[in-house]
A and B are shown apart, each in its own frame.
Chain A
Amino acid sequence: MAAEGKMDALGQFELHTALGGLGRSVNFTNSNLMMLLGGGLIIGLLYYGMKPRAVVPGRLQSLAEISYSGLLSMTEGSIGPEGRRFFPFIFTLFFFVLMGNMLGLLPYSFTYTSHIAVTFGLALLVIVVVTAVALRIHGMHFFSYFFPEGAPKLLAPLIIPIEVISYLSRPVSLSIRLFANMVAGHVMFEVFATFIVLLGGAGVLGASIGILPLVLNVVLVGFELLVAALQAYVFAILTCIYLHDAVHLH
């Protein structure tokens, strides 16, 4: 697609060290920088948003309150009333992913959720927490999860491996879903942006056709905003559903 020049649609996902010499010496990458920025923004939103403590909230306070109460009701709605104790975990997870997706849409920034190492790390954390919660609550009874009640004993050697694989595939599908959505969106941006540049260099006719990919890219920004929020939500609600399974074992 980008035969000439050095337009490489995957170049945007490369890691570089940030913060000059200091960053180089400790391998502090642009990904880490964006993570810190994202974390800082969340804490800043909650701290400065809740600082006025007004009865009638202003914009920032209402943003903080809505995000808190919305996620709380989602957590309690999908896990049940006892899901409240997992709320800090869900909240942190949701906002970390959301910030990664949203900050990545800014020019010159970096999307840390576009690296499978990051998303798989998050998904691994989720599955370890879910398994630990299930073991803590149900003890050894947890393993009955892998063999549904009422199934014929003869089928056990078939059902148990399938259930175990199905359980282990959760973190993989969780991480691939987020990572693939982010990579696909950003590659699309770059490909259409390449079209604009190539057509723009091809005379008046080319430049007038070049408007089309430009318009498309503008539309894509809106679409990607939706995807960014949606994928963060999906990540959070799937974590909730897994926690529901862990708490209730069906």
Chain B
Amino acid sequence: MSDDKGGSFEERLQAAQTRQASNAPAPASGAKGTASPMGIGVRVGIELVSALAVSVAIGWGLDRWLGTRPWFLALFVLLGGAAGVANVWRLMMPRSPR
């Protein structure tokens, strides 16, 4: 990034363009690769818990608002569990190679 002192403008433009081009196709690989088993476990746990927490909050709020005491909470706990698993799936699977 900081070594573009010498050379004509054309050369530097060329260099910048190749740099951009070599950057562009590389997809986001995420922060994986160096994760320890412990780290993975903690991340999975946090993903599951946070999805569940959000869905419980939504279900509880809807129940409170609509006065349908247990039903939305029960529904959203199930959905939250599914969303947590979806999060973990997305975390563990490599990004789709499209």
Contacts and interface: CB of A to CB of B under 8 A. Distances in A.
Contacts of A77: 23, 26, 28
Of A162, A180, A250, which is in contact with the most chain B CB atoms at under 10 Å from its CB?
A162
B74 interface: no
Contacts of A163: 83, 86
Contacts of B8: none
Contacts of A73: 1
A165 B83 contact: yes
Interface string B56-86: 0010000000000000000010011011101
Interface of A: 65, 69, 72-73, 76-81, 158, 161-163, 165-166, 168-169, 172-173, 176-177, 180, 233-234, 237-238, 240-241, 244, 250
A232 to B, nearest CB: 12
Range class of the B interface residue count: 20 to 34
B46 A176 contact: yes
Contacts of B50: 169, 172-173, 176
Contacts of B53: 169, 172
A169 B23 contact: no
Contact of A166 (B2, B30, B43, B83): B83
Contacts of B83: 161-163, 165-166, 169
- Nearest first, the 6 closest Cβ-Cβ pairs linking A and B are A172-B50, A173-B50, A165-B83, A169-B51, A166-B83, A78-B28
A65 B3 CA distance: 12
Contacts of A237: 30-31
Given A165-B76, A166-B87, A237-B30, 16 more contacts: A69-B2, A72-B1, A76-B23, A78-B28, A81-B23, A161-B83, A162-B86, A165-B54, A169-B47, A169-B54, A169-B55, A169-B83, A169-B87, A172-B53, A173-B46, A250-B98
B35 to A, nearest CB: 10
Interface of A is mostly: helix
B2 A65 contact: yes
Nearest to B1: A69
Interface string B33-58: 00000000011001101110111001
Contact of B80 (A72, A158, A165): A165
Given A65-B2, A176-B46, A166 B28 contact: no
A87 B45 CA distance: 30
A173 B47 contact: yes
Contacts of B98: 250
A162 B79 contact: yes
B72 to A, nearest CB: 11
Given A165-B51, A165-B55, A165-B79, A177 B43 contact: yes
Interface in B1-21: 1-2, 20
Nearest to A244: B28
A158 B83 CA distance: 10
15 contacts: A81-B20, A158-B79, A162-B83, A165-B83, A169-B47, A169-B50, A169-B54, A169-B83, A169-B84, A173-B49, A173-B50, A176-B49, A176-B50, A238-B31, A244-B28
A166 B51 contact: yes
A14 to B, nearest CB: 25
